[in-house]
Amino acid sequence: MLLAKTYLQKSNVILYPLLQIPITARYKPEVTYISSKKYSTDDCVLICIYKSEATPEFYDFRNKELCAHPLYLEHQVKIGENIIVFNLKNDYQKDFALFLDGKYSKISSKTKKEITKYYSSNELGSVLLDTHLHPEAYHEYYANCFNVSVELIKNNFETLSPPDLEKEKLN
């Protein structure tokens, strides 16, 4: 079992797949956030920071995949980066609230399917994510890994800590 030694950006792992941009896309955000000075967590946004590349391919991706995305809200260009903000409120407001509380196993089945589909081409990522979306199937496994009782794991239930709201905020 792999344990992360650094903070895992939960918005990137759980929320970014909701954009349904293929995992195989050439460009991926350097980092993602759920709030900033302009947006609070109540706004239900996903802020994606892309490293700017002055290439026709990147501009094409940005304009066709990101700025034309149905959840697109706004775009800012800063030196060396593109900041793209997506509005998750209409489609994912309830699941976003569960995400904030670290209740990943309570996320709707529809949203879980979208997240799982994103990782479907990556077997390890798919299995690891499944342990967080469906933890009840892995309680015994985690109890053995941590050498604790199954009851302790069942009482805690979630296998992934809630997002750190400070680390998930763009400053």
Which of residues 132 and 63 earns the better pLDDT score?
A: 63
The mean per-residue pLDDT over the stretch 43-60 comes to 93
pTM exceeding 0.85: yes
In a domain, 170, yes or no: no
pLDDT score at 1 = 47
* Number of other CB atoms surrounding residue 118 within 10 Å: 21
Query: What are the helix and strand counts (H, E) for the chain?
Result: 7, 4
* Beta strand ranges found along 37-155 (DSSP E): 45-51, 72-78, 81-87
Domain of 55? Answer: 10-156
Top mean pLDDT of 7-11, 51-55, 90-94 is at 90-94
What band does 9 get if pLDDT is binned at 50, 70 and 90? very high
Question: What is the Cβ-side half-sphere exposure of residue 32, based on CA atoms within 13 angstroms?
Answer: 20
| pLDDT over 50 at 101, yes or no | yes
Structurally, the chain folds into a number of domains equal to 1
Neighbours of 112 (CB within 10 A): 20
- Residue 5, domain member (yes or no): no
| Spatial distance between the Cα atoms of 32 and 168, rounded to a whole number of angstroms | 7
